Amino acid sequence: MSRRTKLLLKENNEAENRIQNEENESILTDITVYIRSSNINSYYQETVRRDILEMIADGEKRGETAREIIGDDYKLFCDNVIAELPRQSRKEQILSSLRDVLPSADILLLIWLGFQLVSQVNSTDPTLYFTVTAGNIFCAILCIAGAFCVVHAICRNAFDTAAVSGKTVFFTVFALLLICICANVFLPFPLLRVHALTAAGATAAVFALYKILDAKLD
């Protein structure tokens, strides 16, 4: 995220310490989680968060709770506030999504590279060329898409914990892992071979691209 967004995020995190009421803290957490799923950029998300923080903090000084200040329908309140802010353009959405995907892709690359190096250490005929299979690609896409779907579902249902229970999340993650294992077993078809240095370079390039996008985007 941009410098101004990072500064506002830091200020908001520090301002949360002003909230003393546990119920208010819980409500504020749910609101923050819900805002993360909205189609506004990170800077506007933090702006909304700051305004709500100030409302709740000022209300506490008057002896009021978040429920008394905001009302019973937190989702409707957030939607009304968000509706007043500019939405992200299609280009901004694509770039923001790419920025959010890159760290996950980089971690998966590091894990894959690590496993490949370990397998070569234990191999009788070690080589610095690694094979990328159809199962590897399928698993990477599935893990990233699945993770984003789970996170999005949790954020969108921040005020309805029954909609996305811990069991649902657990079984979803378990199913994704099971499918990945099966994919690696039943889709061993080689797509390309890459040198270890090329794989390491690709990992570094993905991280660099993430840092560039993160610095430019709100």
Which residue from 85, 84, 79, 73 is spatially nearest to 42, judged by alpha carbons? 85
Total count of domains within the chain: 2
Query: Do 62 and 109 lie in a common domain?
Result: no
Query: Do 48 and 73 lie in a common domain?
Result: yes
Query: Do 66 and 137 lie in a common domain?
Result: no
* Identity of the residue numbered 125: D
pLDDT at 65 over 80: yes
DSSP 8-class letter at 22: H
Domain holding 68, by residue range, is: 3-83
% of the chain residues with pLDDT over 70: 99
Domain boundary among 83, 115, 140: 83
Kind and range of the H or E run holding 132: strand 129-133
Average pLDDT over residues 56-75: 87
pLDDT at 141 over 90: yes
pLDDT at 7 over 80: yes
pLDDT at 138 over 90: yes
* Identity of the residue numbered 51: D
Query: Do 75 and 100 lie in a common domain?
Result: no
Q: Could you give the CA distance from residue 69 to residue 83 in angstroms, rounded to a whole number?
A: 19
* Identity of the residue numbered 141: I
pLDDT at 167: 81
pLDDT at 176 over 80: yes
Average pLDDT over residues 182-211: 92
pLDDT at 173 over 90: no
Domain boundary among 83, 101, 130: 83
Query: Do 32 and 96 lie in a common domain?
Result: no
Query: Do 98 and 73 lie in a common domain?
Result: no
Query: Do 173 and 206 lie in a common domain?
Result: yes
Query: Do 189 and 101 lie in a common domain?
Result: yes
Q: Could you give the CA distance from residue 78 to residue 55 in angstroms, rounded to a whole number?
A: 13
Burial of 60 (0-12, 13-18, 19+ CB in 10 A): middle
Domain boundary among 48, 83, 118: 83
pLDDT, tens digit, for every residue of 98-126? 999 999 999 999 999 998 888 888 777 77
Q: Could you give the CA distance from residue 29 to residue 161 in angstroms, rounded to a whole number?
A: 13
Query: Do 139 and 190 lie in a common domain?
Result: yes
pLDDT, tens digit, for every residue of 24-55? 888 889 999 999 988 999 999 999 999 999 99
pLDDT at 16 over 90: no
DSSP 8-class letter at 38: S
Query: Do 109 and 212 lie in a common domain?
Result: yes
Global pTM reads 0.81
pLDDT at 205: 96
